[in-house]
Every structure is written in structure tokens, then in C-alpha cells.
Chains A and B, each alone.
Chain A
């Protein structure tokens, strides 16, 4: 699972290493560290933004260990859906139950429609939509695209996937 985390360190040397150690101890993988040495919080601490990958069950223990080391954890963002792709739809998108089309993806549990823009040029004319699908992995994203293709094909909607 990919996690973004904002932490705050006390302003004494060696604190960053101290804060990162538990991540590797718990089998996690650090993807990026944004350490803004010259920025300080009102309480005089140094803000750091981390992005890391860690097993879901390891996350609570990581937060505990950070607290033990006097690291403040101010925000945890879970980014469960790692893979995304955009597809276009052309046809009578709204009047063929758009809600159901989206549900066909959202109900999978492994993928979601995370963005949708719709262009409707006229009442009787075909609409066009760009849809962004996100899924927990590459295989799941492929499967989500297959599901969407099957769903819209039944409704006579054209689908344009990316290469």
C-alpha cells in the first residue's frame, strides 16, 4: 500500500535518520522524502513529507514507533489505487444509465472511476466523456477496462482506450 505522510521532527541533528529507520525495520520502502530544513512550524519543528510503501498491517506499528521517537505524525494519506488510465466514451452515455456504468467498476472493490468529464453538445446528439479508471494494480486495471468495455458495448457506446 502506498502512503503519503506528513511528519514533524524536533530541530536537532540526526532526527531524519531516526524517523526513517522504522520504515525499513518494518519492511517498508521509502519512495520520496521532502525535507524542508529552512521551513519551521509555529512550534519550531521541521516538516517532512514522506511517501512510502508498506503493508497495511505495518502502518499502525510504524506510527507507534514514530511517536516513541518524538516524531509527530500530522497526516496520513492512503493511496490504495496505484494504477490509472484514461479512456474516452462516445454515445448516449447519460441516458443509458451512467450510474450503472460507473457502478460496474466501483463495485469491483479493486478499481474505481476517479474522474469523469462530460461533453454534451445537444439533446439528441451523442455525448463524449473522458473517464479515469484507477485500480490497485496493473492486472486489476486491465480487468477494470475489460469490465467497462463489456458494459458500454451492451449500451452501444464506443470506447477508446489508450495505447
Chain B
């Protein structure tokens, strides 16, 4: 930074679920550190949830956000009015993923870009359905649309490829992009328990959702793969183009047979640039125990095959409010670096 005064960056957060609240918390926790290290002062001037938005140009306190979330206070305006009319630089979009039509996130992102605001999102739906259109709009407006949190949670993959691996040709990416499936397969193998039993355990521990079908049928992995295919490989694909099979049919006997031969079974998403056969696939695969893709628990992992750097493997926490917020925060800072 050339000037001594920190640059004020005003932020709105749309969607006060786990990720949105996580973002509010890390901004509060890191405000001073970010000001000192990067010379930018992050201020949350509005938050929005289902009823609408509350705003405060002097910055919303932790208490004000909590009270609004628990409906103790009412909204000041609609979400779209906040995006359009409240002066701020960045819209953080963290509403839940909807792969049917991308809403409400899609409208939020379009409105934000059209109102000349940068967008940082963890929402996979709009990206999986309308990536090309959204990037074109962002480019036309000269604004950033960043989405590191949408793939692999805290695990850096998009900025890793775009920044640190700049100059490399990316040949393929394969990895575990869903922590719930990884947890289930890991536990089935370790405890020699059947799928249904472990699924129930995962639900009790809050690792799997009540309706786990998005995760276990491979759909969540497929959506992330579409984002990688479009953003890293410049392919123009949508969710329907992915060949998907999930983990519901995996038996503990199969895991045992694999184990005896030196393998584990993992739900692997694989995408390439097209030259080696246009791969876009989610399926259970045998992974040698000594392969870097063999990580346990709820971890995510990806091996990026490049033409210069060879294989690069990243491992990290794929889910969790603070972990996802870490990716959102790095996107926010990245806009000003």
C-alpha cells in the first residue's frame, strides 16, 4: 500500500447460515490484524437473511447480527435493496446451494455485479449453472467474482492454480471433494461396519445431513467438479454433463477385499482439460494406500497434474463455518492485493 491510511472496505453478508456467520466472526476476529498486515479495514455494513436485511453504515456489531438472526429485531429493507442502495464494496453471498435454478444466490450475485460491487461467494449453485454468464458480467463491470470457498472449503485450489501455479498448464485434477463421503468410507473401512450404520452415526454427529442424498449420491462432488471444469479448464459444462455414481452401494466386504490388496475405496471426482479424453466423472475408485489421495476422516484432497510442476497435492478441511470463512476472507483480501 502506498498510503498510510488503511483503505476502508465495506462488506455485506447475504445468508446467515453457518458460513455467513463464520465470515462475520472471522472478520471481527481478524479486523486489526488485516488492517495492520494488508492496510485494509473491513467493515460489515449490512447482513441479510430470509426476512430481509439490516444495515448500519458505522458497522454492525456482533450483537446486532445475532439479534437479527434470532429474529429479535426486524429488517430495515429488502435484501436486493441493500445490495443496490447501501454504499459498499463487496457482497459476500453465502446462501444455500440450489442446483435446480441457482436461486436466490443467482439473483443476488447478478444484482451485486450490476450495482458495481465485487462478489465473494461460497454458493455453488449459481456457478455450476451460469458460470460463463456471471464471469462475463463481472468482466463487463470490471468487478471481481471470487469463489474459492465453493470448492474444497478451506483447501486452497482455485487461487493455488491461478496464482501460485501461474504459467503451468493444468492437465487434470482429481480428488476427494466431499468430506461426508470420505468420513463414511473411512469409518466403514476402519470399523468394518455396513453403510447404513455408519451413515446414521454420521448424521448423529452432524457430519451428514438428515437428507444425505446430495452428498452420498455424488451430486455435491459433481457440482464442485463443474466449477473446476469451467473455471480452471475453460470448459463450458453444466451439472448434467457429469457422469455421477455415489457411495450408497459400497459394501464392507468390498472395502475388506480392497484393504487386503493394498487399496482403499474413495469417492473421487476427476476432471481434465479435454486433451486426454474430456473426463468429467464422479465415482468410487480404488486408491492405493500409499497414494497422497488416501486421506481419512472428513478431509478433502486434490491432486493437480501440471505440465511444469508435476503433481501437486493439497489436503484440507472441506467443511466447517470457520474453514469456509477462511477461503472467503482470502478471496476478500485477494481483491485488494
Contacts and interface: CB of A to CB of B under 8 A. Distances in A.
Interface of A: 86-88, 90-91, 117, 119, 121, 126-130, 158, 160-163
A86 B286 contact: yes
A39 B93 CA distance: 75
A90 B261 contact: no
Contact of A163 (B245, B254, B257, B286): B286
B291 A88 contact: no
Contacts of A119: 253-254, 256-257
A113 to B, nearest CB: 15
A117 B261 CA distance: 10
29 contacts: A86-B261, A86-B263, A86-B286, A88-B258, A88-B265, A90-B249, A90-B250, A90-B254, A119-B253, A119-B256, A119-B257, A121-B251, A126-B249, A126-B251, A128-B251, A128-B256, A128-B257, A129-B257, A130-B260, A130-B261, A158-B284, A160-B250, A160-B284, A162-B286, A163-B268, A163-B270, A163-B285, A163-B287, A163-B293
**Residue from B249, B256, B284, B286 having most chain A Cβ neighbours under 10 A:** B286
Nearest to A158: B249
Interface in B257-287: 257-258, 260-261, 263, 265, 268, 270, 283-287
Interface residues of B, number: 24
A128 B250 CA distance: 9
Contact of A121 (B253, B270, B285): B253
Interface in B278-305: 283-288, 291, 293
B286 A128 contact: no
A90 to B, nearest CB: 5
Nearest to A162: B286
B43 interface: no
A158 B245 contact: yes
Contacts of A158: 245, 249, 284
Contacts of A126: 249, 251
Given A86-B286, A160-B250, 4 more contacts: A119-B254, A126-B251, A129-B257, A163-B291
B224 interface: no
A163 B174 contact: yes
A64 B256 CA distance: 49
Contacts of B249: 90-91, 126, 158
Contacts of B288: 162-163
